[in-house]
Amino acid sequence: MRKKDFWKNKNVFITGVGGFVGSNLAKDLLKNKATIIGLTKNKNMDSLLYLEGLEKKIKLIFGEITNKNLLKKILSRYNIDICFHLAAQVEVGLARKYPYQTWETNIRGTYTLLEALRENKKKIKSIIIASSDKAYGNYPSKLLPYKENYELKANYPYDTSKACADMIAKSYSSKLFNLPIVITRFANIYGPGQLNFSALIPDVIRSCLLGKTFVMRSDGQSIRDFVHVNDIVEIYKLLSKNLYLNPKKFSGEVFNAGTNIKHKIKDIVKKIFFLTKKEKELKKVFKKIKTNKTKGEISIQYMDYEKLKLFLNWKPKFKLEQALPELILWYKKYFKNNNSI
């Protein structure tokens, strides 16, 4: 098998295919001639999946990730080779307000899928479970960046949901159940197609391009790491392929990914305002800045990717400062097509 032909005719199941990362992953795998079976909760026309007509090129199924009977039917009917579990409630603020809903989706959804995979007659070759840097919980800055062997110390609702799902996945990859699983813990992901405007970067860009008032939700001093969605798609392909071909080496492993670059939230806001030539508006933004930290969120988080580099010789190709101008152009085109500007 030639390297470039690996994905040809592979049956790939993506949960959360309508989301930001799921739709970008589907788009890339379609170019590699994979057959995509995607699960999404509902029809969201304002997503990359529909913006680029990807829904017409995949087998799209609507349903809940917690519906075990539906999952079993999908696995049986489509003879799945590789599974990416990306379905999740991803908003930290929403998790604070509605923890039960978040735990149902993120925890119950994960063990329901893995149990359906365990019970399926055809043994799947590769399962990628999307955890999060939030699963680590709050570590002192002197111990950052996070390492894969760090204990999970999640406390807040969203963080806890990802840590629980993470541990459940580890259990299913153990010798007891022996499912071929790799767990990924990524930093904040950004890039084209991110239309959840509660996320920082899309929110700031939208405010600047549409002339809306941007409101800082905190004092802006929190530190985060941001990794481009194209880098994430590349990691997913590398990990799933290597797990498929070499399960003994990869199954049960956990991989971090980020850029290992610390960004202060306030600085990112400034950068976008300058790139969109709205720097005069910054005084208004920072005049109304909140002096308190955002409740239910960790202050400092950034990731180490050395293990990925060791195993797969991977390193990030995109740096935030270099990627932002092109990303702003993408949003400008999106808003223009939607008659927003």
Rounded Cα–Cα distance for residues 79 and 319 (Å)? 38
Q: Catalytic: which of 158, 236, 331, 334?
A: 158
Beta-bridged to residue 4, according to DSSP, are: none
Rounded Cα–Cα distance for residues 202 and 186 (Å)? 18
Which residue ranges make up each domain of the chain? 7-187+228-260+299-318
**238, 309 Cβ separation under 8 angstroms:** no
Please write the tens of the pLDDT for every residue from 86-136.
999 988 889 999 999 999 999 999 999 999 999 998 899 999 999 999 999
Domain 7-187+228-260+299-318 class, CATH top level: alpha beta
Residue 295 confidence class, pLDDT cut points 50, 70, 90 = low
The question of whether 158 is a catalytic residue gets the answer: yes
The angle, 0 to 180 degrees and rounded to 10, between the axes of the packed helices 320-337 and 200-210 is 50
Q: Which of 40, 250, 11 minimizes the C-alpha distance to 124?
A: 11
Rounded Cα–Cα distance for residues 280 and 126 (Å)? 51
pLDDT of residue 190: 98
Rounded Cα–Cα distance for residues 146 and 100 (Å)? 28
Average pLDDT over residues 257-277: 94
Model confidence at 331: pLDDT above 80: yes
Average pLDDT over residues 250-261: 95
Beta-bridged to residue 60, according to DSSP, are: 38
Q: Which of 42, 105, 104, 39 minimizes the C-alpha distance to 75?
A: 39
pTM for the whole thing? 0.94
